[in-house]
């Protein structure tokens, strides 16, 4: 379990690295939608996604223990974040990425001096390979979500949300492995238990939804959702109990509505976000509680330019 203290400590530790991202609003959107909608803009975070929060919390601790080489398995954003913070600290990073990783994510890892290792398509394959490489004892594996320091780092976004927006009714958060939502939900619920935290998953990547309903972790065996940050097949061993404890509900959204949310944010907010980042907006629109003050956490903005036309169709 993680708690508010661990999240506050994370904020201290990573304060010099991560940005306090802005919250955006749009009167037209709120009026159309019939709720007051606030967007927490993690697509404007360093490296273009919230992942730098957890990664820097973990890697800084490793650095202080004299670790010289970190390794990550990631479809992109976590790898990018680990490479970025390692580079800042002057240590070495190796990132294991899937065959189909977006080119912009690959290029960013290279720009941060990360070594790239290509392996398979599922997160299990990548994590296995990364752990293998770290077994020589020289490199330390930095998990993408299933680690208290990672969860606590991601939770710092939750601390900011409760400070930036008054009288919140509901917060919508996308779910992949559950690191983001477990940290954010712990931060929010322990600050103000009255705020509802709603998880959002693509309907074709509904591992946490099914696990949540059944009360135990369930493996869906992979997914091909356009929200590539949410393709995990099973919730984390450590994240899932936190989700069970703090998350109020989980909504599923179809692929079409993720695209619609992307277009909506692009045209109305003039912001470019990635499909995984659009999922929370799609979830808020779908569940639409009516006349509430709602925060949608836009988790990232790293979308390949080649991919944008597919989202517009």
Structure tokens at 200: 């959002």
Least Cβ distance, residue 111 to ligand PLP (angstroms): 17
CB-side exposure of 3: number of CA atoms within 13 Å?
A: 1
**Residues 40, 51, 105, 259: which is the catalytic one?**
51
Least Cβ distance, residue 110 to ligand PLP (angstroms): 18
Rank residues 36 and 85 by Cβ distance to ligand PLP and give the closer one: 85
Instruction: Give the C-alpha separation, 141 to 209, whole Å.
Output: 28
- Count CB neighbours of 129 within 10 A: 17
Least Cβ distance, residue 8 to ligand PLP (angstroms): 20
Instruction: Give the C-alpha separation, 72 to 144, whole Å.
Output: 7
Q: Enumerate binding residues for ligand PLP (CB under 6 A).
A: 49, 51, 77, 145, 174-181, 229-230, 274, 276-277, 299-300
| Contacts with 109 (C-beta within 8 Å, 6 or more apart), sequence order | 79, 80, 83, 95, 97, 116
Contact 248, 237 (CB under 8 A): no
Residue of 104, 106, 109 lying closest to 81 (CA atoms): 109
Least Cβ distance, residue 77 to ligand PLP (angstroms): 3
Q: How far apart are the first and last CA of the chain?
A: 42
Rank residues 223 and 299 by Cβ distance to ligand PLP and give the closer one: 299
Structure tokens at 108: 């960013």
Rank residues 45 and 67 by Cβ distance to ligand PLP and give the closer one: 45
Least Cβ distance, residue 29 to ligand PLP (angstroms): 21
Contact 88, 138 (CB under 8 A): no
DSSP tally for the chain: helices H, then strands E:
13, 10
Rank residues 98 and 277 by Cβ distance to ligand PLP and give the closer one: 277
Rank residues 29 and 279 by Cβ distance to ligand PLP and give the closer one: 279
Is 270 tagged catalytic? no
**Residues 46, 58, 74, 75: which is the catalytic one?**
75
Is 233 tagged catalytic? no
Known catalytic residues?
A: 51, 75
């Amino acid at each position: 379990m993680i708690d508010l203290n661990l999240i506050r400590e994370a904020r201290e530790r990573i304060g010099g690295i991560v940005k306090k991202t802005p919250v955006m609003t749009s009167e037209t959107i709120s009026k159309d939608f019939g709720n007051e909608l606030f967007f927490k803009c993690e697509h404007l975070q360093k490296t273009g996604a919230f992942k730098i929060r957890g990664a820097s919390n973990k890697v800084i601790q490793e650095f202080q223990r004299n670790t010289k080489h970190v390794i990550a398995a990631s479809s992109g954003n976590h790898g990018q974040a680990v490479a970025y913070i390692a580079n800042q600290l002057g240590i070495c990073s190796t990132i294991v990425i899937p065959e189909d990783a977006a080119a912009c994510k690959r290029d960013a890892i290279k720009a941060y001096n990360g070594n790239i290792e290509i392996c398979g398509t599922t997160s299990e394959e990548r994590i296995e390979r990364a752990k293998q490489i770290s077994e020589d004892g020289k490199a330390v594996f930095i998990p993408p979500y299933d680690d208290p320091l990672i969860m606590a780092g991601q939770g710092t976004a939750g601390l900011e949300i409760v400070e930036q927006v008054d009288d919140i009714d509901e917060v919508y958060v996308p779910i992949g492995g559950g690191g983001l939502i477990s940290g954010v939900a712990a931060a929010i619920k322990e600050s103000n238990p009255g705020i509802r935290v709603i998880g959002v998953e693509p309907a074709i990547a509904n591992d946490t939804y099914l696990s949540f309903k059944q009360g135990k972790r369930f493996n869906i065996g992979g997914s091909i959702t356009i929200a590539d940050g949410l393709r995990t097949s099973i919730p984390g061993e450590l994240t899932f109990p936190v989700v069970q404890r703090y998350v109020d509900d989980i909504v599923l959204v179809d692929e079409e509505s993720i695209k619609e949310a992307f277009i909506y944010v692009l045209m109305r907010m003039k912001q470019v976000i990635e499909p995984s980042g659009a999922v929370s907006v799609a979830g808020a629109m779908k569940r639409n509680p009516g006349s509430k003050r709602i925060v949608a956490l836009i988790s990232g903005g790293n979308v390949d330019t080649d991919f944008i036309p597919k989202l517009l169709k």
